[in-house]
Amino acid sequence: MVEGIHRSTRIIVDGAAIRHNISEEISRLDNKSELFAVIKANGYGHGIRAVAKLAKQAGATGFCVALLDEALDLREAGFVEPILVLGITPVEHARLAAEKGISLTVGNLEWLQEAAQNYLEDIQLKIHLGLDTGMGRIGFQTPSELTVADKFVNEHQEQFDFEGVFTHFATADEKDETYFKLQVGRFKEFMNALKKRPKYVHVSNTATSLWHAACNGNMIRFGVGIYGMNPSGREITPPYELQPAMSLVSDLSFVKKITAGRSISYGATYTAKNDEWIGTIPIGYADGYERRLTGFHVLVDGNECEIVGRICMDQMMVRLPKEFPVGTTVVLAGRSGNQIITMTDIADYANTINYEITCGFTERIPREYKNMEVTK
């Protein structure tokens, strides 16, 4: 996608916030536990390579991604730390992962058998066995299945380095712990089925580590917390301040006064009741600022300004309290004066989660970085 460098719309990522969030979490871990930074989906929209650099500065010892391609990108960028691909990688790419020292998640015996027979004749692949304790997504479903896989891996140690085992909790970000405890019990049953525990035993995503630290194992997969977003939305308060790392800003590209009775945007869904000042902003749903945010607000000089009329592909309009000059800064996420818009604010209006908001901003919006280096 073409990057829109000749317009004012941009994402600003604060490296100091990312380092703060990771450092705070590491300070809560025991000295035998490691933090792997989850930087999939282009670092939740923040930029995968930049976040990897910042995470390493803050003390992360490895990375988690969703796709083999994301792991390969990190290797190409020069990162030598352990990298775990959390999703299932097609077995025909097992050799490529092994050659690059990338760890793959495995969720069934058949994958192991095919990899051993066809792709790993003379090379060893690092693997983490995924366990489905209730997420219902990927992984071995019963301890007996794990026992068979464990036996197979131990019989093929020249081809497999059994590096880790893990599960993922579905409700760690909720106050009701009933289902969470059910998954914990199932995980313990899985662990009892293993002949020997591997190097990494990990169950904790951000929410689990924040509110169920006793379950951490010896490695946590720290994800959304890196970026200063609460995985629980507003339901549970984190044990320390999560500092938002992303701001989204633009400016007024056009300002006009309309008279009462004039309508705005597609469908003429908004009609002015009085004479009004309307500002146009060069961002739209093609940038990931979705159409469903129509009626939400932005900040102009510390003023909340409602989005009026339907958000267009590349532009949108807001009602201004007065005339502002073209070029005036508009804050779509972040602080302006005494006002702030968080990703959770945006997510609440859109009836979704803050993760989806930051991941949805497209590559058309340039990313700018500040506080990238540690200063003494």
CA 360 and chain centroid, separation: 10
Q: Binding residue per annotation — 313?
A: yes
Cα-based angle 59, 334, 252 (whole degrees, multiple of 5):
135
Q: How far apart are CA 241 and CA 140, in angstroms?
A: 36
Q: How far apart, in whole angstroms, are the C-alpha atoms of residue 96 and residue 89?
A: 11
Report whether 262 belongs to an annotated binding site: no
Annotated catalytic residue within 40, 53, 200, 289? 40
Answer yes or no: 40 catalytic. Answer: yes
Q: Which of 151, 181, 266, 370 is catalytic?
A: 266
Phi, psi of 119 (to 5 degrees): -130, -15
Helix axes 178-192, 143-155, angle to 10 degrees: 40
Is 227 a residue of the active site?
A: no
Q: What is the three-state SS of the chain?
A: CCCCCCCCCEEEEEHHHHHHHHHHHHCCCCCCCEEEEECHHHHHCCCHHHHHHHHHHHCCCEEEECCHHHHHHHHHCCCCCCEEEEEECCHHHHHHHHHCCCEEEECCHHHHHHHHHHCCCCCCEEEEEEECCCCCCCCECCHHHHHHHHHHHHHCCCCEEEEEEEECCCCCCCCCCHHHHHHHHHHHHHHHCCCCCCCEEECECHHHHHHCHHHCCCEEEECHHHHCCCCCCCCCCCCCCCCCCEEEEEECCEEEEECCCCEECHHHCEECCCCEEEEEECCCHHHCCCHHHCCCEEEECCEEEEEECCCCCCCEEEEECCCCCCCCEEEEEEEECCEEECHHHHHHHHCCCHHHHHHHCCCCCCEEEECCCCCC
Known catalytic residues? 40, 266
The annotated binding site for substrate is made up of: 137, 313
Residue positions in the annotated binding site?
Answer: 137, 313
